[in-house]
Each structure stands twice: as structure tokens, then as C-alpha cells.
Structure 1
């Protein structure tokens, strides 16, 4: 196991910053946190596979009992959702012809340990029997060729335990590694107890996609924090907080809504830096340099950890400490250097986030994605490169 050697140095620097906030009459330090970080190879190995699903990104985890803020029990089920996924077979260190990339897939894990026998992957198939995405856009605003990458999701215990997942409607607009564009925001609703391929799901176009005067795109669904008693939140206020990201600065936006009103988009409010308002176009950027996928988790001391890839696509997993689920947030704390995973100069790392339902008390299990800008050639040489890696943050009260 490797340790992140810069932690001690950072704490020395951070002590001089003394970034604080006043919340409910209390002074909250947004800089200092005692922790260590190590690799979690047992979780990384869970997703190193030779047949069926053997690669993907966009990983989020959804406890199907709706308890978001506590470690799952051995009998609980955790839904993993992935965006682009590789389906096929690996033999003799390379991909067997017939492999296919689909745009999303899922897996279900029973329990809270990385046991391969308890992990079941699922995707759809087309009429010819070939692998196909589970979630394909079929809304009024969908154009031919649009597909879904998935945002965060949760089980809504106030709406019959349905699973709600954000779907980003994506369209190819060119060639190359970045020849795509997000063009819309959708909410996917899966009834409780529904099983893949989820033929009874519902899709709803949402208004939670915006552009500003500069033409910067923003969209909600990058992360969800369910701040309710039923979800196990330590300081519940009854709201579901939904995080959005916009612009090249990777600026963070915050919305909230009561769980019972989740489908009533006119009931949503947006944080303007001081108040919760109805006008989404006046939403504030509460911090920056986050990633398009992220997480917010309550810390044992009452503060909150925002986990992300610094700047969206860098070698650093970062954290900002928040006084509340909507900020203010402190400076970036770089908690892990992913460079050792970048075996080739074409490899990239992105979209770190925490998984509290898989985290032991006092710890945060964190994933980040590895990919390549020379995708298929690199995958032919290193077919297991394209999958999440995991680290474990251990938080100390001292």
C-alpha cells in the first residue's frame, strides 16, 4: 500500500491559511483535517475482469435501501451505475474480436465487501443479441443518435422507493477523443424492485441544463446528497441536494428540493450565494476546479467533504471541506496523486468521488477513472486499463 507523502507538508501550509466560516453562530474551520490515504487494491481488483463487462467509467453507487450516509450491511444491495462500458472478452493480454462499447451499464453488489461472487453485471441486448446500453434516450427533446452518460442517482423513499438517476443526453459532434457534446439533461425513474433491463422505466426531460452569456454549458446531477433522516444523514434538514457543474472553470452549482417534490421541477430552488431562489439562471458558483462527477459526504465532526478530480481531468484527487452541504467550501486539499497509474503518456484520469455506503466508519472509499486519448490502440495493448481505481481515506479525530 502506498501513502500520500504530501499530506504532512500540506497540513503545515494549511495551518497558515486558517480558512474559516461562520455557520449558525459557530466558527467552522474549512482547512484542517487529519487523515491518511492508501490504495484500496481489493476494490480496484473487483473491476479487473476478463469476460463480459471488462471496463467502464462514470461509476456511482446507490444503496437500494435508500440509506446513503452509512455503510451497507452484508445483506444490503448496492447498485453500481457506469457510463461508457466495454463488453467482450480478454485473452492472452488483448481484446478478442467482437468486443463492443456501450454507453451505460449497471452492476449489483450484495454486501459491503469487494467479493466477485456477489457482483452481478447487467446490460441490454439488441435484436441480434449483441450488447446494448441499458438506458437509451426516448424523450421529446431527444434527437436521432443521442445517447446517455449517467449522473448520480438515489432511492427516493418518499416516492415509493423509486430509483432516480440523472441522464446526460450526449451527441457526437466530431471525431477524436473529445468529439461529443452534452445537449440536454434527463431524469430516469426506475420503479422499486424493477430488474435490468428496466423495461418499465420512465424518462423525463428536465430544465436543469443551462448556458450563460459566454456560452458555457451547465448541468445538474454531478452529485447528490440526500440530507434526510431516512437516508441516515447526521444533520438532516429534509432536502435532497443536487450538484451541478458548468464552464471550463468547472464551477459548482447547488440546487435542492424535498424528496416528495423531486419530479415537480417548479418546486426546485437554487442557491444564489445567499438565498434559495426559483430562478436557475441566477444560481451562484459556490466554488470551482471540481469535476463533472463528484460527491459530497458528511464528515464525523459535522463538516462535509466534497471529493472530486481537481480541475476535472488532472492527476490529483482533491477535497474541499464545506461548512454546510452548499458551502462555503475551503481551498483544494490534494489527497492523492494518480500519476503511478498513468502507465502511458496517453492515459488520463478523471471524475473522482466517494462511496459512503461502501465505506467503513471513519473512512471514505474513493474511486477515480482511468482512460486513454488513444483509446482502442491502448486498450488492445492494456485491455484492463479502462476501469475505476480505488483509494481509502482514513479520518482521525486527533
Structure 2
């Protein structure tokens, strides 16, 4: 999905990697049960992204980016396979949540399409990943909370993307802005969902590149939202905002953290952490006995690491503190085993974690698209179980 806009960043990764703390605690272990959930030979057969949002009724929504739809035969994506820009899955919650799973996307059986697409885009590929207009990649953030009418709704942040003029290959994409997709009946099955959408931001050529909604949590009646400042792709930074949950789709109701106070001006949003990647997860959790916000993400510049930061839970007043230093939780082995492979898009899933552990997923991909076609295992989510003791304490 959003690995990096420049392949040259991979070359610089070894010399620009930021030092992080290395606690010597219990070992991180793979989770083959969760990996088996997404190892499939028909229908949904591989994707990246893997963000989660809790739904009503003991269910968990999984959001994916670019997805293979079609048969896998003898380990490879076979004839008749399509790639669409986004899909979803629904599982249960709890450590046995993988016992029930269903997938959804758009289009038809003959021509699969994305689960959701920007309204009014140029129709050239009907969601098959080749359109000349806009498409959505999940920004990762979302929540369920009352709307302006007091009824529960699902809010999902989406990154609006397009091709680069004259670009080609796996890096041929650019961000256009952030949208929000709203589901008015999240208690029903996805096939019955009533969805609307609204553009939040549109990026200006040469302006600051702020992509909002990479993570969100509800605190009281407000959403605390994080975003990524991608102006410098070699050092992506974290920014923060807040908005009433009932009017989050109206960007004028947002306020932006300046480092000392909340401002009405987006341009005053301050960088509160650096060395980030385009995708993160944000959750409220207990860490070492204290209420905290937990940020999990992949190391920037196509590094192998999965990192975490924490902040003391700001509470209903949204009294924002500072983030801890980054702690390295795990080094993904795939880039060492195959130099064409990349590991990225790490996210936490406390909704389905075992007690005392944090389930973390990450995506893998190849710089050679046909390598992924020939080996379906190279484009499926990976899962590891991280002992909670490895998380840094909140400052």
C-alpha cells in the first residue's frame, strides 16, 4: 500500500536509521494461527494494510489496501486473478477471534472491484487497480461513536490516491488528501451497510503534506486523531488533532496540537515525534499499570524494525503530554532472507491479543510485482505476539 514514495529511501535506510532503545525482555514469537486466517486459495488471497476497528456485537473490522482476488494454484496467483485497491474482513474479538471470518469487496464475480471508491472518480478500471482517477487506501484510523443524530455510526479515514503523471511500477502513486467514510448502520453485516463519504482535505502542490486519520481513539465525546506529515519522505513526523465525534467529517470543527495548545489552524500542527512511517496504529491500553496511548508502526526508510511509543492517556480533557522514545519491538526477517522483500505497515491489534501480549501484524511485499504473483505467500499479513513488557512506559 504506502511503502514509500521513493525507492531511493531503501538505499539510505542503513545510514539514516534512528537509534532506538532495546529492552532485553521476553522473546517475540510468530502467531501461525492468525497467519493461517489470511492464507487462502480462492477469493481474497493476499493484501497489505491490516488495520482493525472494533464493531458492535463482538466483531472486529479489518481494513486492507491493495488486494489480490482470485485463485491461487500451486502457490501462485493464477489466471483470472484481479487486484483491487481495498477490501475488508470481519472476525470475532478476543484471542479466538479467528474462528469466524468473512471477507467483502466490490464489483462483480466476473470483475471484482474495491470495497469503497471515491465518489466522482474517473471510471477507467472499475476498482481493479488500473483506474486513471482516484482510489482509496485505508488510512488505518477509525472508530464507532454517536453521530450528530445520537445514533451509533462507524467512521473510517481514507487516503485519496492517484497515479503520478508519467510514473510507472510499484512506486507509481501520490497522495491527494484525506476523506472520511461513514457507515450509519455498523451493527448490521457489511453487505447491508449504508455508506456516505466526505472529503476532509485536499493537498496543494508544493504545500505541506499532512495525511490525517492514520489512527484515532475516542475519549469522552471527542476523537483524538493522529496523522503523518509526509512533506519530507526521509523523515515522516507525527501530528495530532481533535474533533467532536458527531461532526468529525466537518474539518472546520477540528483543532490541531501545536505542542503547547490546541489551534484552529491546521498549519500550526506541530510535529510531536519523528522517524515515522505512513501507517500506524493507535490504541488506549494499560501499560505497566497505567492508562496510556500506544502507537505501533514500522521503522521508516524501509527499515526492518517494528517500533512502539507510548503517551500517558490524556483523559477527557485531552491534556496531551509527550510521547516516549521509540522502542524496537521486533526485526522482521523477510528483507534479510530475500533482498527484494520489504516489511512495512506494522500495526497492533489489542482487540484479539492474548492476556499479557500484544498481537502485531506487518505487511510484506516485493520490489518485483511478478515475484509476488509467482509466490502468493509473499503478499500476506504476518503476525507476531509481543510481550506487553516490551512496551515502553509512558513519560
Please say whether Structure 1 and Structure 2 have the same fold, judged by a TM-score greater than 0.5. Answer: yes
Q: Mapping of 1:80-119 within 5 angstroms?
A: 80-113=62-95, 118-119=100-101
Aligned-partner SS, 1:44: helix
- Higher deviation after alignment, 322-331 or 129-138: 322-331
Q: Mapping of 1:160-179 within 5 angstroms?
A: 160-173=151-164, 174-179=167-172
On the 8 A contact 1:139/1:205 being kept in 2, the answer is no
Match of 2:38 in 1: 47
**Of 336, 340, 358, the match for 2:352:** 358
Match of 1:3 in 2: none
Unaligned runs of 5+ in 1: 1-12, 15-30, 66-74, 229-237
RMSD: 2.8
On the 8 A contact 1:149/1:169 being kept in 2, the answer is yes
> Using the alignment, how far apart are the partners of 1:256 and 1:380 within structure 2?
41
Query: Is 1:395 aligned to 2:388, yes or no?
Result: yes
Q: Mapping of 1:284-363 within 5 angstroms?
A: 284-297=270-283, 298-300=285-287, 301-311=290-300, 313-324=302-313, 326-340=320-334, 343-363=337-357
- Higher deviation after alignment, 285-294 or 379-388: 379-388
Match of 1:28 in 2: none
Cα shift at 1:339? 2.0
> Using the alignment, how far apart are the partners of 2:32 and 2:329 within structure 1?
17
**Of 216, 240, 246, the match for 2:229:** 246
Aligned-partner SS, 2:246: helix
TM-score by length of 2: 0.80
Q: Per-residue displacement from partner, 1:365-387 (whole Å, max 9, x unpaired)?
A: 11111011111x21233112112
Aligned-partner SS, 2:351: helix
> Using the alignment, how far apart are the partners of 2:112 and 2:122 within structure 1?
25
> Using the alignment, how far apart are the partners of 2:326 and 2:204 within structure 1?
26
**Of 364, 373, 393, the match for 1:370:** 364
Query: Is 1:187 aligned to 2:180, yes or no?
Result: yes
Cα shift at 1:255? 0.5
On the 8 A contact 1:155/1:163 being kept in 2, the answer is yes
> Using the alignment, how far apart are the partners of 1:141 and 1:272 within structure 2?
37
On the 8 A contact 2:30/2:385 being kept in 1, the answer is yes
Aligned-partner SS, 1:299: strand
Q: How many residues align?
A: 348
Cα shift at 1:171? 0.5
On the 8 A contact 1:165/1:187 being kept in 2, the answer is yes
Query: Is 1:145 aligned to 2:136, yes or no?
Result: no
Cα shift at 1:89? 0.8
Aligned-partner SS, 1:138: coil
Q: Mapping of 1:176-215 within 5 angstroms?
A: 176-192=169-185, 193-197=187-191, 200-207=194-201, 209-210=202-203, 215=207
> Using the alignment, how far apart are the partners of 2:95 and 2:138 within structure 1?
24
Change beyond 3 A, Cα 1:197–1:132: farther
> Using the alignment, how far apart are the partners of 1:353 and 1:125 within structure 2?
28
Unaligned runs of 5+ in 2: 1-19, 124-130, 315-319
- Higher deviation after alignment, 112-121 or 344-353: 112-121
Q: Per-residue displacement from partner, 1:61-110 (whole Å, max 9, x unpaired)?
A: 11112xxxxxxxxx611111111110011111222101000001111113
- Higher deviation after alignment, 35-44 or 307-316: 35-44
Change beyond 3 A, Cα 1:385–1:90: same
Q: Per-residue displacement from partner, 1:181-200 (whole Å, max 9, x unpaired)?
A: 01121111112145445673
Change beyond 3 A, Cα 1:154–1:97: same
> Using the alignment, how far apart are the partners of 2:168 and 2:237 within structure 1?
27
Q: Per-residue displacement from partner, 1:127-171 (whole Å, max 9, x unpaired)?
A: x73211110110599996211101221112355221111111110
On the 8 A contact 1:273/1:286 being kept in 2, the answer is yes
> Using the alignment, how far apart are the partners of 2:53 and 2:265 within structure 1?
29
Query: Is 1:222 aligned to 2:205, yes or no?
Result: no
